Structure 1
């Protein structure tokens, strides 16, 4: 089983790291190529493409310009958005991190597909960006490469199951391209005045908590993931089917 996560816009390259055996991203050369092409974009163009402020456009223009010389950090310890707040990697033991390396993957606009200990440099390039070298959008540039790699990694798992905890924007890079793999889409809801409701911030944190729960308990059978119970969530059998699972928060 492989759990798929989206990356984060927010990064942390400052906090201390435990001793780690860092790995190299499979698409490291592609990332450098994309960064080199993006370095030709003006700050104004970056602001328009990414819908960001001039300050952030300047920061990311500098990142693309200096990309080969930027510091590196394992992806799971570099991403710091809501999903990774929920994952809390800093409190996960060494065995849990090793399990994550084998069973968690992060989709990335720049790096394609990342293992938790793959070394990345600071960047911002969302999968939904409508720009890419010689293509109209980034998903077209990646084509089938990300899905091909993921299928290869799934081939090592007899069950060939993907627990999809990624956003629609990122999952679009592999949607419909995973062959005979079983994909389980997970959604998180909580009580509201008009019935179950989706709260983006809480759902993002829950995605990270579920991936962390899997690694903490070394879950290898996907049906055991129905036991996820962090932060008051419970599996809602009545609102779920075989490949779409709903978890309700108490």
Structure 2
């Protein structure tokens, strides 16, 4: 099973790993694209005002540009420890047992604008780059990633559970994946797509899938794992399900 997680704009700082070594990352077929994006991003950081404009940042976020300028020299940390925020708080990777952490590293991957896919143990630095953006020398990240990332995911011979947000889902389409959305249900039974509980519930589902002693291989398995974790999940179609939360 492969669970695709959205990244987060916020990243944990520091780390105790050696500087970025693209050759050490999983999925070596992505190395050339990773290098092109990393080199473009770090070169762009030499011009702070231009970087802020391209990345859609304010002057108060100039520190994010500095991080990009240090991509090749700053310390690294495992991907599942680098990303922070609501989803990753719910995933709570640090509280997993040793066995569960190994399962998480094997089953979870972060959809990254810089790395394409970052597996749990991939050692990566802090950076700032959004999936819906573009870089001057490369164009849109969607057009950069799709030709290499879509074939990789299409060749996967395992169940894919797609928890990515829109901009990152656009980097590589996964028509055969199990699509998950979060719905809010009010007292009258009316449901609507929400953002407030979205990340938290996806993080809880990812945690449950990582902890499962049996590796899910079907939509029914995913529903069973979700129910066991106290999540209210329902099938919406052949390859789709929803997690329902109270309004």
Normalising by structure 1, we get a TM-score of 0.82
Match of 2:87 in 1: 83
8 A Cα contact 2:81 2:93, kept in partner:
yes
Deviates more, 1:205-214 or 1:97-106: 97-106
Residue deviations 1:105-151 (CA, integer Å, cap 9, x gap): 21100011111110001101111103252x32111122321223333
The equivalences for 1:120-199 within 5 A come to: 120-133=124-137, 135-152=138-155, 154-155=156-157, 157=158, 161-175=159-173, 178=174, 182-192=176-186, 195-199=190-194
The equivalences for 1:1-250 within 5 A come to: 1-13=1-13, 24-26=25-27, 27=30, 30-41=33-44, 42-56=47-61, 58-133=62-137, 135-152=138-155, 154-155=156-157, 157=158, 161-175=159-173, 178=174, 182-192=176-186, 195-218=190-213, 219-222=215-218, 223-227=220-224, 228-229=226-227, 233-237=231-235, 240-250=236-246
- Cα distance change of structure 1 residues 16 and 46 upon mapping to structure 2, 3 Å threshold: closer
- Cα distance change of structure 1 residues 101 and 151 upon mapping to structure 2, 3 Å threshold: farther
Residue deviations 1:21-64 (CA, integer Å, cap 9, x gap): xx6243456434323212333322332233222121x2122122
> Which secondary structure does the structure 1 equivalent of 2:216 belong to?
coil
8 A Cα contact 1:164 1:185, kept in partner:
yes
Greater fraction of residues in strand:
2
Deviates more, 1:44-53 or 1:23-32: 23-32
CA deviation after TM superposition for structure 1 residue 14, in Å = 5.3
Matched residues, number: 232
Q: In structure 1, what is the Cα distance between the partners aligned to 2:67 and 2:178?
A: 36
- Cα distance change of structure 1 residues 16 and 120 upon mapping to structure 2, 3 Å threshold: closer
> Which secondary structure does the structure 1 equivalent of 2:191 belong to?
coil
**Structure 1 unmatched runs, 5+:** 18-22
CA deviation after TM superposition for structure 1 residue 231, in Å = 7.6
8 A Cα contact 2:14 2:126, kept in partner:
no
CA deviation after TM superposition for structure 1 residue 16, in Å = 9.1
Q: State the Cα RMSD in Å.
A: 2.5
**Structure 2 unmatched runs, 5+:** 18-23
Match of 1:20 in 2: none
Residue deviations 1:73-131 (CA, integer Å, cap 9, x gap): 00001111221111110111111121122222211000111111100011011111032
Normalising by structure 2, we get a TM-score of 0.83
> Which secondary structure does the structure 2 equivalent of 1:211 belong to?
helix
> Which secondary structure does the structure 2 equivalent of 1:236 belong to?
strand
